[in-house]
């Protein structure tokens, strides 16, 4: 099983079964400062696509950030995964950027629907041309 497949299963499990809802969060504070890196641009685009909640936003993300954008099956799988995350969360509000490097990024976010808190770790791959692609997302529930 590939890392990507495991990440999809982890997201599906988290979103289908969830964790105890966190206490209702206060209005989000100022948006965190995003690093100026390809990895940060990818994660910001993922959050934006999920939060937009439209197939056109999912497809725009997938067309740019799947491992092989010339593979229609990869794009359709990514679109379905983004749609699933949106349906389960209602979107995500980033509260904090916990770590960032060229190969990974860790954020803390609250779901808009249930106000659950998650720490999301994104694995970033690089294509031979230097562009980045999403290689996995590992969610971990956080205490309220």
pLDDT tens-digit profile of 68-101?
Answer: 999 999 999 999 999 999 999 999 999 999 999 9
Distances (CA, A) of 5 to 69, 82, 93, 97, 138: 17, 14, 25, 25, 11
At residue 71, the pLDDT reads 95
Residue predicted with more confidence, 113 or 25? 113
Please name every residue paired with 93 in a beta bridge, in sequence order, or none if there are none: 110
At residue 24, the pLDDT reads 41
pLDDT (tens digit, 9 = 90+) per residue, 12-47?
Answer: 444 444 543 333 444 445 789 999 988 999 999 999
How large is the average pLDDT for residues 60-71? Answer: 94
In the chain, the DSSP E strands lie at 92-100, 104-111, 117-126, 132-141
| H/E segment holding residue 85 | helix 72-89
Convert 47-77 to b/e letters by CB count within 10 Å (16 or more is b).
bebbbbeeeebbbbbbebbbeebeeeebbeb
Instruction: Please say whether the structural domain 3-12+34-141 has been given the CATH code 3.10.450.
Output: yes
pLDDT at position 140 over 80: yes
Residue predicted with more confidence, 8 or 82? 82
The answer to whether the CB of 107 falls within 8 A of the CB of 128 is no
Mean pLDDT, the chain, integer? 83
Local confidence band at 4 (pLDDT 50, 70, 90 cut-offs) = low
At residue 59, the pLDDT reads 97
What does the domain layout of the chain look like in residue ranges? 3-12+34-141
Phi and psi (nearest 5°) for 115?
Answer: 60, 30
């Amino acid at each position: 099983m590939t890392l990507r497949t495991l990440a999809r299963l982890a997201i599906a499990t988290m979103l289908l079964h969830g964790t105890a809802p966190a206490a209702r969060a206060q209005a989000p504070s100022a948006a965190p400062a995003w690093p100026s890196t390809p990895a940060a641009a990818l994660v910001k685009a993922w959050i934006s696509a999920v939060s937009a909640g439209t197939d056109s936003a999912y497809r725009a993300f997938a067309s740019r950030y799947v491992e092989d954008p010339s593979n229609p099956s990869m794009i359709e799988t990514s679109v379905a995964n983004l749609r699933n995350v949106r349906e389960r969360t209602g979107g995500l509000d980033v509260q904090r950027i916990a770590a960032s490097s060229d190969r990974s990024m860790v954020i803390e976010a609250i779901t808009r629907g249930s106000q659950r808190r998650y720490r999301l770790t994104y694995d970033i791959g690089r294509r031979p041309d230097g562009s980045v692609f999403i290689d996995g997302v590992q969610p971990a529930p956080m205490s309220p």
